[in-house]
């Protein structure tokens, strides 16, 4: 899959689900973004997690396919499951009801870093040309994993 193909597929899913637009807010098609993730706060209140942080398995695998085989100092190393946001977890008292896909990257020195697949997928959800979305996603990987 190419970056443009991913952008086009997400746009097709968005139109199929929400109509042709224009929309007053960004839309997240359910084929690519998981609406079933809820965060439990320390006080017991449960709130839906923003879908932009929760890729589906399909969304994660398609955005991951764009990074497979890329040359350079940072290499794609696989998909792992973790909580949607880094501030959640037992130590903070916040927890998600399900894990979401993250892309794992590794530097030449063996250091690993992770980026939420939904965050990367969201770059292809804005109607940008595929190459622009990909440049933004690569910049996000560099900034979030090894800054």
CA-based R_g, the chain, Å: 16
The pLDDT of residue 122 is: 95
The pLDDT of residue 37 is: 94
Enter the pTM of the model.
0.89
The pLDDT of residue 85 is: 79
> Structural domain boundaries of the chain?
3-146
The pLDDT of residue 27 is: 92
Q: Report helix, strand or coil for 83.
A: coil
| DSSP designation for 1 | -
The pLDDT of residue 41 is: 83
The pLDDT of residue 62 is: 97
Structure tokens at 62: 């398609």
* pLDDT < 50 regions, the chain: none
The pLDDT of residue 69 is: 84
The pLDDT of residue 23 is: 78
Our CA dihedral for 40, 120, 138, 126, rounded to 10 degrees, sits at -130
pLDDT tens-digit readout, 51-60? 999 999 999 9
The pLDDT of residue 73 is: 82
The pLDDT of residue 92 is: 67
DSSP 13-69: HHHHHH-S---SS----TTTB-TT-EEE-TTS-EEEPPGGG-B-HHHHHHHHHTTTT
- Give the dihedral sign, CA 15/3/102/41: negative
Picking from 1, 2, 31, 14, the residue whose alpha carbon sits closest to that of residue 127 is 14
């Amino acid at each position: 899959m190419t970056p443009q193909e991913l952008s086009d597929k997400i746009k097709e899913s968005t139109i199929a689900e929400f109509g042709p637009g224009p929309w007053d807010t960004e839309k997240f098609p359910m084929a690519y973004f998981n609406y079933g993730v809820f965060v439990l706060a320390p006080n017991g209140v449960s709130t839906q997690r923003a879908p932009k942080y929760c890729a589906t398995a399909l969304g994660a695998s398609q955005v991951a396919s764009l990074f497979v085989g890329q040359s350079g100092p940072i290499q794609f190393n696989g998909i792992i499951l973790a909580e949607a946001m880094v501030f959640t977890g037992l130590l903070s008292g916040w927890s998600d009801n399900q894990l979401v896909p993250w892309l794992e990257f590794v530097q030449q020195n063996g250091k690993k870093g992770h980026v939420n697949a939904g965050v990367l997928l969201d770059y292809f959800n804005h109607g940008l040309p595929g190459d622009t979305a990909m440049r933004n996603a690569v910049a996000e990987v560099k900034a979030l994993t090894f800054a």
